[in-house]
A and B are shown apart, each in its own frame.
Chain A
């Protein structure tokens, strides 16, 4: 049906949105959450997730870039510092540590990189991972391995949504189903 936008309704901490349903691969469409540019939804999600922060968390780690404002906002509310795992090594990084993960959605290898100074902020610390949506969990798995390889202990994972198969290893505010793309 031309001209009809398919969407999926969500509510986070009293804030409602209609997420557009977009095709991301052959036979797969997702409800697209974009916290970038949505301060109201980001702040509401941060408020709800801050209440659920695993006890003893000393540092938050988030992958760039969509979850960065969320991690920042949780950090503001809880006083727990955050670190961003970058997706490319930057020329200015000092003693960076990296790990390659293969994205199940795109099939492409994806790099996760921690700058040396950030490694020092994670080593020996209790870490909670923050992401916007945990779907196949490939980024999550890579990030966990990266954090553990530099001596951090992952004590929990916070996400706004899980997606696809339900999972119990993530503290989420809701669950998104997968969709069939429209022909």
Chain B
């Protein structure tokens, strides 16, 4: 077995040597995982907190990897948060639904938001929060979902932006992730 190729990632005072994965032939990206990493999660939340506009009332994210980060940020900044799910759950009542346009054929994704949680966002100022944003497709879909719920997006935050930032969809990211 060949040794795993790694790449050093810094978040504030925390350094991780993360695996480099080849997503397309000749294109490698560092693979960040916040799940299971309390130290990295807390450091990222600490650094994101000052980026949150004062007026923000709710944080909104998608399952699953950003959840501990958003929980920590919500607790630290005393805001509520809502998680859009990627599968319909049996208990969901009249959920809001938003398709995520797929980058590759046949792998589309759907975001689901139970009406009970959607109602919390009505007329609220919302910050979208993610761990890693690349094409921005998921975050764009999340923004549409928040609009359907009657919320107003005041910020788009991420720890990492992967690849070139999109001119028509600006995300405030702490760090750029290289494509190698």
Whether B31 sits at the interface, judged by CB under 8 Å, is yes
Cβ contact of A92, chosen from B31, B81, B82, B83, cutoff 8 A:
B31
- Number of residues from A at the complex interface, CB < 8 A: 32
Contact between chains at A69 and B67 (CB < 8 Å): yes
Residues on the B chain within 8 Å of A43, using CB: 75
Interface of A is mostly: mixed
Whether A178 sits at the interface, judged by CB under 8 Å, is no
Residues on the B chain within 8 Å of A57, using CB: none
Whether A94 sits at the interface, judged by CB under 8 Å, is yes
Beyond A69-B67, A92-B21, A92-B31, is A83–B36 a contact (Cβ under 8 Å)? yes
Residues on the A chain within 8 Å of B72, using CB: 72
Q: Would you give the shortest CB distance from A143 to chain B, in whole angstroms?
A: 15
Contact between chains at B93 and A22 (CB < 8 Å): yes
A82 to B35, CA, bound (A): 8
Contact between chains at B4 and A94 (CB < 8 Å): yes
- Number of residues from B at the complex interface, CB < 8 A: 28
A-B contact count (CB 8 A): 69
Cβ contact of A86, chosen from B64, B83, B85, B90, cutoff 8 A:
B64
Interface of B is mostly: mixed
Q: Which of B31-48 contact A (CB under 8 A)?
A: 31, 35-36, 38, 41-42
Contact between chains at A106 and B90 (CB < 8 Å): yes
Shortest Cβ distance from B117 into A: residue? A37
Cβ contact of A68, chosen from B42, B68, B90, cutoff 8 A:
B68
Interface string of A88-123 (1 = CB under 8 A from B): 000010100000000001100000000001100100
Cβ contact of B38, chosen from A24, A30, A81, A121, cutoff 8 A:
A81
* B-binding residues in A (CB < 8 A): 20, 22-25, 30, 32, 36-37, 39, 42-43, 64-65, 68-69, 72-73, 75-76, 81-84, 86, 92, 94, 105-106, 117-118, 121
* A-binding residues in B (CB < 8 A): 4, 19, 21, 23, 31, 35-36, 38, 41-42, 63-64, 67-68, 71-72, 74-75, 80-83, 85, 90-91, 93, 116-117
